Amino acid sequence: EPFRQTVRIMAGERATLNATLRPGPAQVGRIRVLANVPGAIVSLDGEVLGEAPVSKDDVSPGEHILEANAEGYNPVQQPVTIESGQQRVVSLRLERNAAGAGDIIVRANVGSAVITVDGEVMRYRLMMGAVGQPHQLHLEAELRRVG
């Protein structure tokens, strides 16, 4: 804040003035960005901030463009207004890219069945994973006749 004080000095006199300066309002704002896809890469005006959730403390006031990208999801852009001295929390929602991803669900009717996907053993009988490319699935179980 500016310092103001009126001083009257007569000819031949000396005056001492002690000024106390106080900081003005903050000239920047803060932003915190959340996303429904953990690890989505977040950018503000083209500058990468990092993986969601992410914060930035020194954002100039005014209009900005937020963007989030994640593999298998359509990128999302959203305008955001930052006010001086304020924190803005923004939640971005990315939608799955229908052309590049899907799910695989494998259910085995034998409890001891071993499921491997691309050579990796799955721990659970129900497994979900991305299928944007070909995968090799293998299901094996030892069957025993009872009686």
pLDDT in tens, 14-71: 888 888 877 766 689 999 999 999 899 999 999 999 999 999 999 999 999 999 999 8
| List of residues 6+ apart from 48 with CB closer than 8 A | 41, 42
Residue 77 lies in a domain: yes
pLDDT value of residue 132: 59
Residue 97 lies in a domain: no
Q: What is the mean pLDDT of residues 77-103?
A: 87
Taking CB atoms within 8 Å and a gap of at least 24, the contacts of 104-110 are 104/128, 104/129, 104/131, 104/135, 104/137, 106/137, 106/139, 108/139, 108/141, 110/141, 110/143
Whether residue 128 contacts residue 97, with contact meaning beta carbons closer than 8 Å, is answered with no
Strand partners, 122: 115
Q: Domain containing 60: what range?
A: 29-92
What torsion do the CA atoms of 77, 32, 129, 143 make, to the nearest 10 degrees? -160
How far apart are the C-alpha atoms of 138 and 88, rounded to whole Å? 49
pLDDT in tens, 130-141: 555 677 888 888
Are 40 and 69 within one domain? yes
Check residues 98 and 116 and name the one with the higher pLDDT.
Answer: 116
**CATH code of residue 71:** 2.60.40.1120
Has residue 83 got a pLDDT over 90? yes
Domain boundary at 47, 67, 92, which? Answer: 92
> Sorting pLDDT into bands at 50, 70 and 90, what band is 127?
very low
Model pTM greater than 0.75? no
